Amino acid sequence: MKRRKFSSKFKTKVVLESLKEKENLNEIASRHKLHPQQIRNWKKEFLQKAESIFEKDETFSKSEEEKKEDRLLQTIGELKVENDFLKKALK
């Protein structure tokens, strides 16, 4: 039997259906042709990672301009350190 691969979109849809509890797990599994344990595993993983969605992450909150500015400021700092080093080496 060939292993099936499921998209994250499909997994999310199934997990959200199971969280709504309008149907029992066996009904959801039957409708999607899945084993109930598979849905339990996806649900467990979903709930474990759900907290991270609300954590503040700078990579998502910064715009492209802010990221570019940060890189430029970092480069300026590196060049200043290098410049100061070379000035001291010449004395």
- pLDDT of 33 reads 95
Residue 43 sits in the same domain as residue 4: yes
Residue 42 sits in the same domain as residue 81: no
Q: Which structural domain, as residue segments, surrounds residue 18?
A: 1-52
Residue 74 structure tokens: 């970092």
Number of domains into which the chain is organized: 2
In this prediction the pTM is 0.58
Cβ atoms of 40 and 12 within 8 Å: the answer is no
- pLDDT of 51 reads 85
Binned average pLDDT, 10 residues per bin, the chain of 91 residues: 90 95 94 96 94 70 82 93 90 80
Residue 1 sits in the same domain as residue 41: yes
d(CA 20, CA 39): 13
Residue 47 sits in the same domain as residue 68: no
Residue 4 sits in the same domain as residue 33: yes
- pLDDT of 91 reads 80
Residue 3 sits in the same domain as residue 43: yes
Residue 1 sits in the same domain as residue 36: yes
